Chains A and B, each alone.
Chain A
């Protein structure tokens, strides 16, 4: 029983030491998820918990009137995905993303941020 307990206790540590890939969770965003900012940002940046495969990760941003405001393809570097956006005035912006981590685990999500008086 002691051997079992020790083995089980050490297993997660060995995992962390030997492997660095898993599902890519959204770690943080700029503008932050659910935040209110004074002026429309020039880009949306998402940072994930794992590195991403650029060809299979996407991001879409819609402005207050529902029209897409993201410009060109997202730029992906390591665990960060960013896309430029054009300002569309005050209101609620919606971000939809899909991410593929380097070991092909896919995740997706969406969130809003608000532009206007804080």
Chain B
């Protein structure tokens, strides 16, 4: 009887694996032994089933006198196939400027179409290509929060963990870097309302992160408290530089440097960063950026955590060394 029962269990497991793709199992950003968390200011270099809700930031703008800006946004990312995904996001902004009426409203709807070009586990390298589209006229144009024109941004994303350093490198192997470079192209070169050119802008951002989970599981278990072992201290930067169609305006780079930390759990992560403007045009004082990020592939592993296409067709394969 027990033998029959065992056989039935084995058959059930085999059947369940025949309907679940092993390749889908690396949904959020694992590259070999490295887990690259969803970073707050820089998109991580993987397609995934995930949701950032909410991302909240507060800062003082570079205006004189500075205005107080509050942004609340959300984004959901969904794999269409194993290597191709789409993200949809939107944000609400409120700007309070001394002596002026408060303005608020939704920004334009943003979508990103992303293709996973490479995941190289041995050297912990991930490369992603994307096209980010901000759809003009879908937000609060009249309040000045959104633009009537669209913006196309071809973007290159990368991530690299340093776990492939020699063992002598010790704790340094827990470091990783990620980054993205995009070229923003407005669909209108001139803003008739404001009477200004719409510049083409190079947006570049990145992160340097130190993974305590990686340190514990790959390098040395220091028997630290569990909470510490879930932390990823991080420094991000987020910059934009006008490079073309910017007649009569400054070509000054603006941006922020964001030191912070991400706590990584099994189903969600929480991140908190300070925002330090790199110059006066980028803002005044220290801002704050926080995010709750949900791993949909872990929360709903058999439904929306699967790619829409090809999610149940890949035959299972035995893991072997």
Contact among A8, A19, A55, A111 with B299 in the assembled complex (CB-CB below 8 Å): A19
Scoring B20, B54, B167, B217 by chain A CB atoms within 10 A of each residue's CB, the highest score goes to: B217
Cα(A65)–Cα(B30), bound, Å? 30
A110 adjacent to B33 (CB under 8 Å):
yes
Per-residue A-contact encoding for B263-302, CB less than 8 Å = 1, 0 else: 0011110000000000000000000000010110111011
Per-residue A-contact encoding for B144-167, CB less than 8 Å = 1, 0 else: 000000000000000000000001
Within 8 A of A (CB), among B196-222: 213, 216-221
Per-residue A-contact encoding for B15-29, CB less than 8 Å = 1, 0 else: 001001110111100
Q: How far apart are B299's CB and chain A's nearest CB, in angstroms?
A: 5
Residues of B within 8 A of A111 (CB): 217-219
Cα(A111)–Cα(B33), bound, Å? 10
Contact among A22, A28, A53 with B295 in the assembled complex (CB-CB below 8 Å): A22
Per-residue B-contact encoding for A16-53, CB less than 8 Å = 1, 0 else: 10010111011011001111000000000000011001
Asked whether any CB of chain B lies closer than 8 Å to the CB of A71, the reply is: no
Per-residue B-contact encoding for A53-67, CB less than 8 Å = 1, 0 else: 101111010000000
B17 adjacent to A104 (CB under 8 Å):
yes
Asked whether any CB of chain A lies closer than 8 Å to the CB of B32, the reply is: yes
Cα(A55)–Cα(B54), bound, Å? 39
A22 adjacent to B298 (CB under 8 Å):
yes
If A12-B292, A29-B221, A107-B30 touch, whether A112 touches B266 (CB-CB below 8 Å) is no
Q: Which residue of B lies closest to A32 (CB)?
A: B221
Range class of the A interface residue count: 35 or more
Range class of the B interface residue count: 35 or more
If A56-B319, A108-B32 touch, whether A11 touches B219 (CB-CB below 8 Å) is no
Asked whether any CB of chain B lies closer than 8 Å to the CB of A106, the reply is: yes
Contact among B32, B219, B292, B316 with A56 in the assembled complex (CB-CB below 8 Å): B316
A34 adjacent to B221 (CB under 8 Å):
yes
If A34-B221, A53-B13 touch, whether A104 touches B24 (CB-CB below 8 Å) is yes
A8 adjacent to B292 (CB under 8 Å):
yes
Per-residue B-contact encoding for A95-118, CB less than 8 Å = 1, 0 else: 010101001111111111000000
Q: Which residue of A lies closest to B301 (CB)?
A: A103
A33 adjacent to B292 (CB under 8 Å):
no
Q: How far apart are A97's CB and chain B's nearest CB, in angstroms?
A: 9
Contact among B220, B267, B319 with A58 in the assembled complex (CB-CB below 8 Å): B319
A60 adjacent to B298 (CB under 8 Å):
no
Asked whether any CB of chain A lies closer than 8 Å to the CB of B53, the reply is: yes
Asked whether any CB of chain A lies closer than 8 Å to the CB of B91, the reply is: no
Within 8 A of A (CB), among B212-246: 213, 216-221, 223
Scoring A19, A23, A100 by chain B CB atoms within 10 A of each residue's CB, the highest score goes to: A23
Q: Which residue of B lies closest to A94 (CB)?
A: B167
Asked whether any CB of chain B lies closer than 8 Å to the CB of A6, the reply is: no
